[in-house]
Amino acid sequence: MLAKRIIPCLDIRDGQTVKGIHFEELRRVGDPVELGAKYAAQGADELVYLDISATQQGRRTFTDLVTRIAARIDIPFTVGGGISSVEDAGRLLEAGADKVTVNSAAVRNPALIDAIAARYGSQFVVAAIDARLVDGRRVVTTHGGTRPTDRELFTWARECVERGAGEILFTSMDHDGTKNGYPCEVFARLAELPVPIIASGGAGTVGHIAEVLTRGGADAALAASIFHYNEIPIPTLKRELHRAGIPVRL
C-alpha cells in the first residue's frame, strides 16, 4: 500500500504566510520559505501554497516566491490561487512548482483543466473543490465557500478527472475550521475515483486524520492551523498514525 501523505497548507498574501477564517482577520504566521523548510525537515510529504493576493503586484510577488521556494525546499509543492489560464499555470510551473491547483476558474471554465493537462500532463493538475450541503445536495461553491454554483460535488469531481485532473483536493465548507473531523462518507465516495484524493478541512485531532485516511479512503490529509500553531506537530502526527497501522513515511 502506498504511504499516506501529510500536507501542510500555507496561505500567501503579498509574499507572506497568513492565517484567518475565510480570508478575514488575517495575521502573519511566518516567512513562507522558512516555514516550508521547517515543515519539510519535520517530515511533511508535500506542501501546498495558495496565493490569496488580490492584486497583480501580489501575483508577481507570488511567482518570485515560488522561485525561492523551489531553490530551498526539497519536497514536492503545489501552488494555486488565481490561476485562470494555461499561461498562469505555466509561469508557476516554470518557476519551480511541482503541481498547480485550480478551483474557481475551472468551475467557470472547465476547459481550463483540459488545456493545462494537455500542455503539461495530468500529473501537474490538482482540481480543488469546495462544497456545502444544501437541502441534501452537496453544492460546489467558489470564493472561499461563499458563492454556490449549479454544480454537484460528485458529478463535478468526476468531470474534473475526465478532463485531466490528476488529483482531487476536496474541502467540505461545513467542516472547514470546525476541528470536528471530516465527513468520511463523502471522502469514501470520492475515493472511488481513479485518482488520489486529498482531504481538507476539519482536522482537530490525530484521530480525525487517521479516520479520513482509513474509513474515508483519502490518500492525503491537508491542514493549516494545527501545524502553524504547533497543535499537532508533524512528527507526533506521523508517529501516532504509524502506531495505528497507517502507512506513512517516517
* Axis-axis angle for helices 32-42, 234-243 (nearest 10): 30
φ/ψ of residue 59, rounded to 5: -65, -40
Could you give the angle at which helices 111-120 and 86-94 cross, rounded to 10 degrees?
40
Tell me the torsion sign for CA atoms 42, 76, 212, 217.
negative
Torsion angles phi and psi, residue 15, rounded to 5: 85, 0
Comparing C-alpha atoms, which of 213, 180, 59, 226 is closest to residue 49?
Answer: 59
Tell the residue number behind the cell numbers 501523505, with chain if given: 5
- Give the whole-angstrom CA distance, residue 89 versus residue 114: 12
The whole-angstrom separation of Cα 225 and Cα 184 is 20
Instruction: List all residues 6 or more positions away from 94 whose beta carbon is below 8 Å from its beta carbon.
Output: none
SS3 state at 238: helix
Joined grid coordinates for residue 212 = 479520513
Paired residues of 70 in beta bridges: none
Q: Cα separation of 238 and 6, whole Å?
A: 8
Largest CA distance in the chain: 47
Catalytic residues, by residue number, are 11, 130
